[in-house]
Structure 1
């Protein structure tokens, strides 16, 4: 590689945008540069790094192995540079940025609507890219630098991860109102265990805190339906004897549903600690700090209800 003195640090910002956008035009828009200027910067990067870095693929750019190897150290280096510049190095009103978040549709349903309203008011040039991953996938994405922020429930985290508890939720039961005796306001343990259950298991996470608690108490349940998404689960209950044990905040819109009823769980399950995670090395990054604070503010308002 050429001597560091010959490196224009602005080129690294361009490379970071290209690795995020995988498209010259979108990278140019994000950086407030012309497309020819970004193409020229890419040409200089190819000479500097002695690698093509990207190849054309399906109307976009596909990074080379060398480019992917640079992704993590580049993200960390730019984060440290932004930290040196201080909070004024990131202006949400003016900055063009793409954040990569990972969350389930439970987390997205709770956090994302208000987050987008906040961003359209206060950060109109910032974009989000949302992916749904398993817990292990979120953790790996944050560690590897592919994910800026993960939101979910994480019983175990590696040392590289910085966790921030957003709020605690609790498990409740959702059943079809017609499957209950009239005026019943709770589901008894025998009835709960006798019913077939719906399990939400993202990407095959078949072992959950629910089943661990049931087994520890000396009971078992029959799971009649396994789903990868929270959002479709309530509709599968209607007209059946199924029971869904689910986080209470995911059911707020169903409080006055005519067909479905939310009941306390007959088993005391542990609280659900909903947490946002990021890499410890990026805690001084002003852009990521702004995003974490925005999510935390939204979560605080939810915790009050």
Structure 2
């Protein structure tokens, strides 16, 4: 009979499981946790005995998690969150906060807000590690499974257990290469041109295009890219137009020209989104406040 049972589980084993599942390698998990590879291997062997599952199997030159490991990692994230909240049952002190906080954001909001947020966090909460993942079109499951603790997106998922707060509102502008073409001054100029756009989910129209379609406006797309970072190389040296959030002119598209759209476009709101389990959590509430302070400084 195995000498291990459920009472042998501790936070270190749960953190290890989550780290290996998320990173996908023994080496990466060891680096994230600040331990040796041999320590990770030893603890994984202990977990395998406890769970009765191989947890990870070889795939090419790396490893992949078994279905059981994926399911256990989701439960482990929940348990780790509960343990952290248990330990913080007293007054919250950000200077003593030791955690990895995951925010899901696409490249527009990531580059606009998160460097400034990280600068604030390094001063006030030096023990916090900020992990940033792409949000694409955010889903309820991202927050329910603790895949991330906060989402920044113009498209909040809709759920009774999901909360949101508007951070700011942006306006669309049309970006182009002034060395190649003139700005589109009329609706006809705009509709005659070819366009480039960002598409996160195949066959799902952008909110902007659904709005334009309701007015009988259909853009002609020559290129679709998976993120805003893909726009500049295609716009430079071409006659393509990109109708995107205007605040991109402060960083990613700063070397391109832009004008207001010659067709009516809706505003683009930006929200922070979180699960109800974190609504009254002191640490989560503090970090949301830090993000709002960053918005006040960065978005003018």
Q: C-alpha distance in 2, partners of 1:146/1:174? A: 34
Q: In structure 1, the residue corresponding to 2:228 is in which secondary structure?
A: coil
Quick one: distance in 2 between partners of 1:139 and 1:243? 33
Q: CA RMSD in A?
A: 3.6
Per-residue CA deviation, residues 67-89 of structure 1 (Å, 9 max, x unaligned), is 21122222223223322333668
Deviation digits for residues 178-228 of structure 1 (CA, Å, limit 9, x no counterpart): 5338xxxx8222222222222221243551122222221123222222222
In terms of mean alpha carbon deviation, does 4-13 or 269-278 score higher?
Answer: 4-13
Counterpart in the other structure of 2:178: 177
Alignment gaps of 5+ in structure 1: none
Structure 1 stretch 219-228 or stretch 126-135: which is displaced more? 126-135
Distance 1:202 1:254, change over 3 A: closer
2:137–2:201 CA contact under 8 A, matched in 1? no
Distance 1:189 1:75, change over 3 A: same
Task: Say if 1:197 and 1:242, in contact at 8 Å, map to a contact too.
Answer: yes
Instruction: Label 1:36 to 1:282 Cα distance change in 2 as closer, same or farther (>3 A).
Output: farther
Cα distance change on mapping 1:16 and 1:131 into 2, 3 Å? closer
Matches within 5 A, 1:124-163: 124-136=126-138, 138-154=139-155, 156-163=157-164
Deviations 1:110-133 (A, max 9, x none): 123223333444444443443335
Q: Within 1, Cα distance between the matches of 2:22 and 2:85? A: 20
Q: Aligned residue for 1:114?
A: 116
- Alignment CA distance shift 1:113-1:155 (3 Å): closer
The one of 65, 71, 75 equivalent to 1:69 is 71
Q: Which residue number corresponds to residue 262 of structure 1?
A: 258
Task: Specify whether residues 236 and 68 from structure 1 end up closer, same or farther in structure 2 by C-alpha distance, changes over 3 A only.
Answer: closer
Residue in 1 aligned with 2:268?
272
Match of 2:229 among 223, 228, 231: 231
CA separation in 2, counterparts of 1:23 and 1:89?
A: 36
Task: Please say if residues 156 and 273 of structure 2, whose CA atoms lie closer than 8 Å, have aligned partners that are also in contact.
Answer: no
CA shift for structure 1 position 22? 4.8
Distance 1:37 1:196, change over 3 A: closer
Is 1:293 aligned to residue 295 of structure 2?
Answer: no
Query: Structure 1 residues 21 and 291 mapped into 2: Cα distance closer, same or farther (>3 Å)?
Result: farther
Larger RCO, structure (CA 8 Å, separation 6 or more): 1
Unaligned runs of 5+ in 2: none
Structure 1 counterpart SS, 2:75: helix
Closer, same or farther: CA 222–17 of 1 in aligned 2, 3 Å: closer
CA contact 2:77–2:145 (8 Å) conserved in 1: no
Change (3 A) 1:283 1:198: same
Query: Where do 1:23-102 residues align within 5 Å?
Result: 27=29, 41-55=43-57, 62-86=64-88, 92-93=94-95, 95-102=97-104
Q: CA deviation at 1:272?
A: 1.0
Cα distance 1:23–1:288, how it changes in 2: closer, same or farther (>3 A)? farther
Q: Could you state the TM-score of these two structures normalised by the residue count of structure 2?
A: 0.78
Kindly indicate whether the alpha-carbon contact (under 8 Å) linking 1:82 and 1:286 is maintained by their aligned counterparts in 2: no
1:13 Cα deviation from its structure 2 partner: 4.5
- TM value normalised by structure 1: 0.77
1:234/1:55 CA distance change after superposition, 3 Å: closer
Q: 1:243 to 1:18 in 2, by over 3 A?
A: closer
Provide closer, same or farther for how the CA distance between residues 298 and 250 of structure 1 changes in structure 2, counting only shifts above 3 A: same
